[in-house]
């Protein structure tokens, strides 16, 4: 009991000192300013951090006036949301006279009912904006999201997949309203194919790329057996023509598809997954889209390794154009600001909470 009290006092003192330091932070004057008046950002978890991070990376100065209670709540409740007040020179908590042309973010502008368009509006809802999926938050936090990658290298004409395939976690999506194939079932499907290959590690994978032994393979880097530093993810993705997009824990969207698209690796993606990305990914334009496992089997046997180099190059360029226009911080912020000017409803993901609206 005494030890717990001591830890609580230490935490309080640490929070007080950090709050006072942040109060003294004076950002550089900037023509691009965003002012945040969102009272309950905890609803959106990591996605609220990512929203503000994109504004910062797009060159905006961020003001988020708050008292000590809100500061403590943000700092200690969620490891990603806490980055808002833990990152150095990320935002100011001062309340001052802001420029009349500042972008203002308020609670009423946002909804966590992210999949409402898909399930209730036939995916035809107008006057709204879906804040897109992004990389893993730590990629932006660590400043490795835009590391230079050689996109002109000769690529392996294979399907690559990297991720966690824990059976308990990734079967949860079957209890939601989505009908996507869980990643565990995708792994089972591919592992029964003749061209399946479980990769042992980055070094061995690069050796197989150099000796062409990965050509026309289904190359899986299963996270439990394949250690890969976060800063190496995009580089490894850039060696392959195609990336198998596996759904997340409770929804189709997962950060890996964005990381793949950032280096021009073409998504191999199920239709429902492609249609909860906005704008939707299109078959043979910026993705290879399959309906179900029989259709996927047809694509594997009759299509995917039969595309010509010009066809693959065209799809890759479309993937990169999509990424630049919709998924980069500058692209997303530009599109979001236009939506704000039109007073459109903004759908922002809230992880499990967004999924509960479906049910």
Tens of pLDDT, residue by residue over 164-214, are: 888 777 778 888 999 999 999 999 999 999 999 999 888 888 898 888 899
- What is the residue-averaged pLDDT of the chain? 94
- 99-126 average pLDDT score: 94
Q: Is the pLDDT of residue 81 over 80?
A: yes
pTM, full prediction? 0.95
Q: Which has more confidence, 203 or 32?
A: 32
Distance from chain centroid for Cα 28: 29
The residue among 126 and 338 whose pLDDT is bigger is 338
For residue range 135-160, list pLDDT tens digits in order.
999 999 999 999 999 999 999 999 99
| Rounded distance between C-alpha atoms, residue 340 and residue 131, angstroms | 12
HEC string of 248-281 equals: CCCCCCCHHHHHHHCCCCEEEEEHHHHCCCCCCC
pLDDT at 323: 98
Residue 148 makes CB contacts below 8 A (sequence gap 6+) with: none
Residue keyed to tokens 């280096």: 263
Work out the angle at residue 7's Cα, subtended by the Cα atoms of residues 6 and 8, and round it to the nearest 5 degrees: 90
**Residue 182 carries which DSSP code?**
P
Q: What is the pLDDT of residue 359?
A: 62
Locus of tokens 């429902």:
272
Determine what percent of the chain is predicted with pLDDT higher than 70.
100
At residue 166, the pLDDT reads: 82
- Residues facing residue 266 across a β-bridge: 242
Q: Residue 50 in 3-state DSSP?
A: helix
Percent of the chain with pLDDT over 90: 81
Tell me the C-alpha distance between 236 and 214, whole Å: 13
Structural domains of the chain sorted by starting position, each given as residue range(s) with its CATH number in brackets: 20-140+330-356 (no CATH), 144-328 (3.40.50.2000)
Q: Mean pLDDT across the stretch 262-288?
A: 98
């Amino acid at each position: 009991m005494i030890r717990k009290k001591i830890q609580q006092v230490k935490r309080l003192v640490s929070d007080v000192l950090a709050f006072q330091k942040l109060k003294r932070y004076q950002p550089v004057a900037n023509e691009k300013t965003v002012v945040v008046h969102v009272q309950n950002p905890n609803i959106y978890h990591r996605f609220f951090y990512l929203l503000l991070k994109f504004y910062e990376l797009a060159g905006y100065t961020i003001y988020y006036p708050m008292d000590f209670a809100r500061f403590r709540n943000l700092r200690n409740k969620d490891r990603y949301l806490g980055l808002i007040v833990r990152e150095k020179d990320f935002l100011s908590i001062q309340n001052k006279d802001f420029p009349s042309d500042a972008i203002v973010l308020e609670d009423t502008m946002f909804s966590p009912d992210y999949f409402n368009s898909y399930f209730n509006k036939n995916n035809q809802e107008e006057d709204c904006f879906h804040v897109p999926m992004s990389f893993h938050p730590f990629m932006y936090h660590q400043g490795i999201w835009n590391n230079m990658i050689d996109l002109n290298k000769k690529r392996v004409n294979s399907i690559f997949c990297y991720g966690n395939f824990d059976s308990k976690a990734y079967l949860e999506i079957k209890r939601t309203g989505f009908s996507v194939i869980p990643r565990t079932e995708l792994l089972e499907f591919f592992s029964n194919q003749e061209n399946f290959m479980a990769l042992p590690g980055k070094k061995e994978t690069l050796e197989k790329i150099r000796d062409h032994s990965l050509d026309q393979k289904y190359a899986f880097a299963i996270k439990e057996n394949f250690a890969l530093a976060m800063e190496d993810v995009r580089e490894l993705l850039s060696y392959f023509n195609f990336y198998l997009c596996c759904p997340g824990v409770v929804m189709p969207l997962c950060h890996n598809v964005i990381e793949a698209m950032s280096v021009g690796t073409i998504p191999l993606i199920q239709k429902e997954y492609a249609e909860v990305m906005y704008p939707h990914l299109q078959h043979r334009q910026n993705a290879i889209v399959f309906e179900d496992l029989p259709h996927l089997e047809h694509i594997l046997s009759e299509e995917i390794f039969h595309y010509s180099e010009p066809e693959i190059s065209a799809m890759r360029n479309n993937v990169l154009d999509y990424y630049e226009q919709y998924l980069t911080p500058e692209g997303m912020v530009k599109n979001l600001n236009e939506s704000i000017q039109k007073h459109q409803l903004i759908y922002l993901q809230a992880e499990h909470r967004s999924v509960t609206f479906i049910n």
